[in-house]
């Protein structure tokens, strides 16, 4: 093109301006969509862990009494927010002096050794725990409580390795006041390592065993508890109640708090009385990461139309100024006998042609760096070309209506 040979610097300027402006606007739009998608992904996939913890954490009990009532746990479990959970409970057999811990997930117990979420944040180090099953038994057997008709239930139990030689293959889980019951536990394995509960640990001197929590929940509820003149069913409170919130309901996390927290000061656990609890939620990622991202996204959405409008105005102005640099060329064409319309059309086509090449380069850059491109970049490219057309046409009209002699006196 003649414009490239005649004014290479001007041509390069138009090319760079066109490509950069289209690329910048399209990339900004791409950033908005990527941010929206990432925010939605975080809301939909972030797993929020929660746990009930005794209010005065440093005084947490270590002798086998749970501090979380089944009533509070049922509020959480049946709230519709929980998709996964881990609970522990316990009961003490005064006849055999055996403290039995019921766990809902043996693998979770082994992995965290009853460590709480607060322990994790405080960096508390727990002893490693290992479980060894006897021949013919595995994790599936631990989760299975067998019972046939009126025969006694067989409860799988895991005991400390140090106790294995002093206990029989079957252990009675009855207490003296449990008239007519005959609950037996089959020892299917041993464990090493001290169990933890909160910031304390169970003493190695306590005869300790582990059973499925389902047994504690379904069986001990039938145990009679002798009160004054009455017999009541007794469900042991929980030692641990940890759960995961359904990611689909992450946006309702505050509603969940408002639902549960008013009841935490009314947590009655029987012989220990009322124990105040704290609902500890590991939801920092929602409020420390996602919420700021949403605020930034809102700002981008407000600024984006303003940036487009300013870019359009700048395009019109710059194309007008650049067209004014063609004054001498227009004068020469007029002196050589070209009509005004012909002169206007010629200078416009040259400048708009260079703009079009720059726009194409900008779109190619968007495709390369963004990977995909929708309709918005082409709309922005069309908007830029519209601004370039308005500016170029206005400039062409201005320089063509002036006399050739006057235009020859204009310095480029």
Residue among 93, 96, 63 nearest 166 (CA): 96
Query: What is the model's pLDDT at position 383?
Result: 92
Residue among 345, 356, 353 nearest 382 (CA): 356
Question: What's the number of CA atoms in the CB half-sphere (13 Å) around residue 250?
Answer: 22
Query: What is the model's pLDDT at position 194?
Result: 61
End-to-end CA distance of the chain, in Å? 19
Residues 6+ apart with CB under 8 A from 104: 85, 86, 87, 88, 212, 213, 214
Phi, psi of 63, deg, nearest 5: -110, 15
Question: What's the number of CA atoms in the CB half-sphere (13 Å) around residue 140?
Answer: 1
**Structural tokens at position 61:** 């009990």
Handedness of CA 299, 302, 306, 307 (dihedral sign): positive
Could you tell me whether strands 98-103 and 82-93 are parallel, antiparallel, or unpaired per DSSP bridges? Answer: antiparallel
Q: 3-class DSSP state for residue 192?
A: strand
Q: 3-class DSSP state for residue 403?
A: coil
The number of residues in the chain equals 412
DSSP, res 290 = I
**pLDDT digits (tens), the chain, 412 positions:** 555 566 777 888 888 889 999 999 999 999 999 999 999 999 999 999 999 888 764 444 444 567 888 889 999 999 999 999 999 887 776 666 677 888 888 888 887 765 566 566 555 555 677 888 888 888 888 876 665 444 445 678 888 777 776 666 766 665 433 434 456 778 888 888 766 554 445 555 667 788 888 777 655 444 433 333 333 445 678 888 999 999 999 999 999 999 999 998 887 766 667 788 889 898 888 888 898 999 999 999 999 999 999 999 999 999 888 887 776 777 677 677 677 777 778 888 888 888 999 999 999 998 888 876 678 889 999 999 999 999 988 888 887 776 665 655 655 5
Q: Which residues of 79-108 are buried (b: 16+ CB within 10 A; e: fewer)?
A: bebbeebbbbbbbbbeebebbbbbbbbbeb
**Structural tokens at position 84:** 């996964």
Query: What is the model's pLDDT at position 158?
Result: 81
Full-model pTM? 0.70
């Amino acid at each position: 093109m003649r414009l490239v040979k005649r004014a290479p610097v001007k041509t390069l300027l138009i090319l760079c301006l066109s490509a950069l402006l289209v690329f910048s606007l399209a990339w900004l739009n791409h950033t908005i969509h990527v941010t929206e998608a990432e925010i939605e992904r975080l809301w939909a996939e972030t797993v929020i862990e929660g746990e009930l913890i005794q209010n005065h954490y440093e005084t947490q009990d270590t002798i086998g009494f749970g501090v979380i009532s089944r009533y509070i746990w049922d509020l959480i479990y049946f709230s519709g927010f929980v998709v996964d959970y881990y609970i522990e409970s316990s009961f003490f057999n005064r006849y055999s002096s055996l403290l039995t811990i019921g766990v809902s997930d043996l693998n979770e117990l082994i992995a965290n050794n009853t460590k709480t979420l607060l322990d994790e944040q405080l960096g508390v180090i727990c002893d490693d725990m290992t479980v060894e099953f006897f021949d013919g038994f595995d994790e599936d057997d631990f989760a299975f409580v067998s019972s046939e008709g009126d025969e006694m239930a067989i409860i799988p139990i895991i005991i400390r390795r140090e106790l294995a030689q002093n206990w029989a293959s079957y252990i009675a889980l009855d207490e003296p006041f449990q008239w007519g019951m005959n609950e037996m536990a089959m020892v299917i394995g041993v464990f090493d390592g001290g169990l933890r509960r909160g910031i304390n640990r169970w003493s190695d001197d306590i005869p300790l065993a582990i059973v499925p929590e389902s047994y504690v929940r379904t069986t001990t509820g039938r145990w009679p508890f002798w009160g004054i003149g009455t017999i009541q069913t007794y469900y042991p409170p929980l030692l641990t109640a940890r759960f995961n919130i359904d990611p689909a309901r992450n946006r309702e996390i505050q509603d969940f708090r408002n639902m549960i927290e008013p009841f935490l000061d009314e947590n009655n656990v029987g012989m220990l009385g009322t124990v105040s609890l704290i609902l500890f939620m590991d939801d920092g990622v929602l409020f420390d990461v996602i919420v700021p991202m949403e605020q930034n996204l809102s700002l981008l959405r407000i600024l984006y139309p303003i940036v487009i409008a300013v870019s359009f105005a700048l395009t019109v102005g710059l194309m007008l100024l650049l067209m004014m640099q063609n004054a001498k060329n227009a004068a020469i064409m007029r002196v050589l006998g070209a009509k005004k319309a012909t002169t206007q059309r010629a200078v416009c086509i040259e400048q708009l042609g260079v703009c079009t090449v720059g726009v194409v380069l900008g779109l190619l850059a968007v495709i390369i760096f963004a990977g995909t491109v929708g309709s918005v970049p082409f709309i922005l490219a069309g908007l830029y070309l519209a601004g370039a057309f308005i500016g170029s046409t206005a400039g062409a009209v201005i320089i063509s209506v002036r006399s050739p002699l006057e235009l020859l006196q204009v310095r480029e």
